[in-house]
Structure 1
Amino acid sequence: MRLLISVFMALLCSIPVISQQVYSKKQPFAHTYSIVARDTVTGEMGVAVQSHWFSVGSIVTWGQAGVGVVATQSFVNPSFGPRGLSLLENGLTPKMAVETLLKLDEGREVRQLAILDVHGNVEAYTGKNCIEAAGHLVGDNFSVQANLMDKNTVWPAMAEAFKKSTGTLAARMLAAMEAAQNEGGDIRGKQSAAILVVKAKTTGNSWEDKVVDLRVEDSENPLKEMRRLLTIHTAYDFMNKGDLAVEVGNNTLAKEHYMKAQQLNPDNLEMKYWYAVTLANNGELNEAKTIFKNIFKQNSKWKELTPRLIKPKLLTISEAQLQEILKL
């Protein structure tokens, strides 16, 4: 315990005091509602937000695999994101991290902040001068927080929706945000949204540590657009898995993944195309030809691409079979 306190004090002293003007032009007015949460099965951690403010995800949502996630909002102090994650990485609890950040901030009474760590520990704070309706609610492995809301039932509605939801962490957080909007949401309306999900353990490669990183920067209905993007994201996850299966020569598994991708995004020609390629590689040429014919009719460039797949062995069929496809 003494060692932990010593580490805490050392970190506190090492962080420079940043004098913050409460209404500085450098601090965007990201009045909003958000959620930080952890999936108890996968260990993934996420943060999601919606606001009547342009590109809200660029300032509110922060996360690091194996460490935690942060939502910093209201009259935003953006430094709370990277500094909060750094404090967690150095062994502080979310509660200690929040206390440290606020202690050094002159604008603390107009801030709203939530921090969740890799163990699911959460701490949230709502400054007494945040614009009403404002508040937060901390639950098991999550916290919801909101300010400038239409009414004070918004964040409780988020909490209930999250607890009752199923599926991936991203899907559950989106359900919470949709519940907030259905309850009245931001009194000004809606404009942008973001979802960030990071892995429970770092891979050592930052580009592999994000599970979901989606933003709707400017939209009349950002949550509707976010749901569309999340569906496409899931479809492309299956496409990526299919590609990996092709690389190791498992065309049967690739076929399964490509089929799932198509079901989620049935109008996407590329997904249909690679499914047809996999069918051809599996010896199911007649079924593949039916799909190829439909694709080529809509866009002849896919036919032009097809013979180019032979050299890298992405299409492993005979010359005669290739010509059958090209005659479609």
Structure 2
Amino acid sequence: MKIATYLLLFLSTPAIAQVFKTREPLAHTFSVVARDPATGQMAAAVQSHWFSVGTSVIWGKSGVGVVATQSFVNKSYGPLGLQLMQAGKTPQQALTELTQKDDGRDVRQVAFLNTKGQSAVHTGSKCIAYATDRHGVNYSVQSNMRLTDKVCQAMEKTFLANAKLPLAERVVACLQAAQAAGGDIRGRQSAALIVVSGTLAKESWNDKLIDLRVDDSPNPINELARLLKLQRAYEHMNNGDLQVEKGNMPKAMAEYTAAEKMFPANLEMQYWHAITLANNKGVKEASVILKRIYAKDANWRELTRRLPKVGQLTVTAEELKMLLL
């Protein structure tokens, strides 16, 4: 049944007509909410054949929980669900309270998970087939408008079998398994991932540990996996900077090297590795790296010229000449 026909069917009923508005996207999709008991981190990940699905479906707050709200999306389930869980409601209590007040509950699909690993899920009776869910301690997987009825089964199996993976990589693996099992009957377009801490962040602007979105792509899950790998590489870069501040150059170099191994073509990683070397009496080694970078993009040479003025490159005039060759 086409979306337009399905929507028209519901619009013919006054009670239902009140819940279908232009601000409620038709995010038919598959998603996972999960928690890592070892770290306390919580994650939510989603894929859909719909533009920018991450802006509507997945929600999270450190020290509270994560939410996925999909099918005919009611975005309020995100912030209101988190608010209720923060006030002490269990996921099931919060979900029941919200669905009871929602005239469109039959076309909603929603999952809540909290810091204790408690999960709750609702799949409305009028969600488009295949619409199923599975949940347990530390996870809930849910899908609607799937090509096959094996999608949730594949996500659950993957989640349970990969406890040794970091949580973010684990939930992305669930998305990949869902796609392999048939995925969205319409195809692929966007995907998103968030990870929050199990403890409340002191600063609201640091609430999300990971916040990645692929708004439009022919292969959004693979692109999401690439972005996650890139984030891990930049975490190595940040750790390298921290080790430099502590004066531990061997550890700093190990972190920079780890990042570059993950993305050997990334000039920025190579560049700051070289600048750090130069600032720590490794001008000869730095000049070799910089020469390779300049050959690919001369703008990096101009950036090197500008760094001494702002104290980001602390070398002598002669050493600077060597670095600009």
* TM-score normalised per structure 1: 0.90
Corresponding residue for residue 194 of structure 2: 196
Corresponding residue for residue 13 of structure 1: none
2:317 is the counterpart of 1:322: no
Which of residues 238, 241, 260 in structure 2 aligns to 1:243? 241
CA shift, 1:243, in A, is 2.8
Deviates more, 1:125-134 or 1:298-307: 298-307
CA shift, 1:248, in A, is 4.3
The letter for the 2-side match of 1:96 is: Q
Corresponding residue for residue 141 of structure 1: 138
Deviates more, 1:310-319 or 1:117-126: 310-319
Corresponding residue for residue 124 of structure 1: 121
Which of residues 299, 302, 305 in structure 1 aligns to 2:303? 305
Say what the alpha-carbon RMSD is for the aligned residues.
1.8
The letter for the 2-side match of 1:225 is: E
Corresponding residue for residue 154 of structure 1: 151
2: distance between equivalents of 1:310 and 1:248?
A: 21
SS in 1 for 2:56: helix
2:44 is the counterpart of 1:47: yes
The question of whether the paired residues in 2 share the 8 Å contact of 1:251 and 1:278 is answered with: no
Corresponding residue for residue 292 of structure 2: 294
2: distance between equivalents of 1:301 and 1:22?
A: 54
The letter for the 1-side match of 2:55 is: S
Corresponding residue for residue 257 of structure 1: 255
Corresponding residue for residue 23 of structure 1: 20
The letter for the 2-side match of 1:297 is: A
Which of residues 92, 105, 112 in structure 2 aligns to 1:115? 112
Unaligned runs of 5+ in 1: 1-17
The question of whether the paired residues in 1 share the 8 Å contact of 2:63 and 2:201 is answered with: no
Which of residues 57, 73, 76 in structure 2 aligns to 1:76? 73
Corresponding residue for residue 228 of structure 1: 226
The letter for the 2-side match of 1:179 is: A
* TM-score normalised per structure 2: 0.91
Corresponding residue for residue 172 of structure 2: 174
Unaligned runs of 5+ in 2: 1-14
Number of matched residues?
310
SS in 2 for 1:230: helix
Q: Percent of aligned positions with the same letter in both sequences?
A: 49
SS in 2 for 1:187: coil
CA shift, 1:35, in A, is 0.1
The question of whether the paired residues in 2 share the 8 Å contact of 1:22 and 1:106 is answered with: yes
Corresponding residue for residue 86 of structure 1: 83
CA shift, 1:301, in A, is 1.8
Corresponding residue for residue 274 of structure 1: 272
Cα deviation per residue 1:113-162 (whole Å; 9 max; x = unaligned)? 10000111111111111111111101230110001111111101001111
The question of whether the paired residues in 1 share the 8 Å contact of 2:46 and 2:175 is answered with: yes
SS in 1 for 2:312: coil
1: distance between equivalents of 2:280 and 2:258?
A: 17
CA shift, 1:22, in A, is 4.2
Corresponding residue for residue 5 of structure 2: none
Deviates more, 1:98-107 or 1:24-33: 24-33
